[in-house]
Structure 1
C-alpha cells in the first residue's frame, strides 16, 4: 500500500497547485483593466503621459512627436492594441499612444 499512501500524501499539494494556477489564470483579464494613471508616483517619476502629443517640450526636450509607447522597446502590448503592458510599470497597462522619459527605440 505504499503507492496509495504516497498518492494521498501528494493530493493536498496537487489541489493547492491547481487552485493557485486557476487564480493566476483567472486574474489575467483583471490585469488588462489596470491602467497606469498619469498622477501615480511611478508615472510622475518618468513623466508618463497617456497622450504623447501632450508632453511638455520644455520639460522633456528629447521627446519627439513620433515617440509613443507602441513603438517603445519596453512596450508589451499587441501591435495595433490601444493599451498594453510595460516592462517599466509591472502589472499596469499603458496607453499605446502614451509616452514617458524612459522611451527606447523598439
Structure 2
C-alpha cells in the first residue's frame, strides 16, 4: 500500500512538532541561579555597578558576542543561558563581551 498525501502531511507535521528546534523559549528569570551568578538584568540601567564595576551603560545584550539574533530583535537566545531562555536586547550580564565588527 502506497502512503497517501494526507498521511505524508500528517507525518511531516508530527515530525515538525516533535523537533527540538521548535522548542518554546521564555525570558530568563532574573532570580534564577544562573542569572544571579552572572548578574543578569533585563535592563542594563538596573545593573548594580558596585557589584559589577566593569559594567558600562553602552553595554547591552544586543551588542554582545553571545547574542544570537539580529541586533534589532527585542529578545534572543544567549550562549550563556542555553536554548530554553531568552535575554532582552537591553539586558546585561557579567559575561558581556563586545561583538566583533
TM-score over 0.5 for the alignment?
A: yes
1:23 counterpart residue number: 18
Q: Tell me how far apart the structure 2 counterparts of residues 18 and 97 of structure 1 sit (CA, whole Å).
A: 36
**Which structure has more strand as a fraction of its residues?**
2
Q: Per the alignment, do residues 26 and 77 of structure 1 end up closer, same or farther by CA in structure 2, a change over 3 Å counting? A: closer
Equivalences, count: 91
* RMSD, aligned CA: 2.5
Unaligned runs of 5+ in 1: 1-15
Equivalent residue runs for 1:8-87 within 5 Å:
19-24=14-19, 27-28=22-23, 30-31=24-25, 34-87=26-79
Shift >2 Å, 4+ stretches: 16-22, 25-28
Q: Tell me how far apart the structure 2 counterparts of residues 26 and 49 of structure 1 sit (CA, whole Å).
A: 26
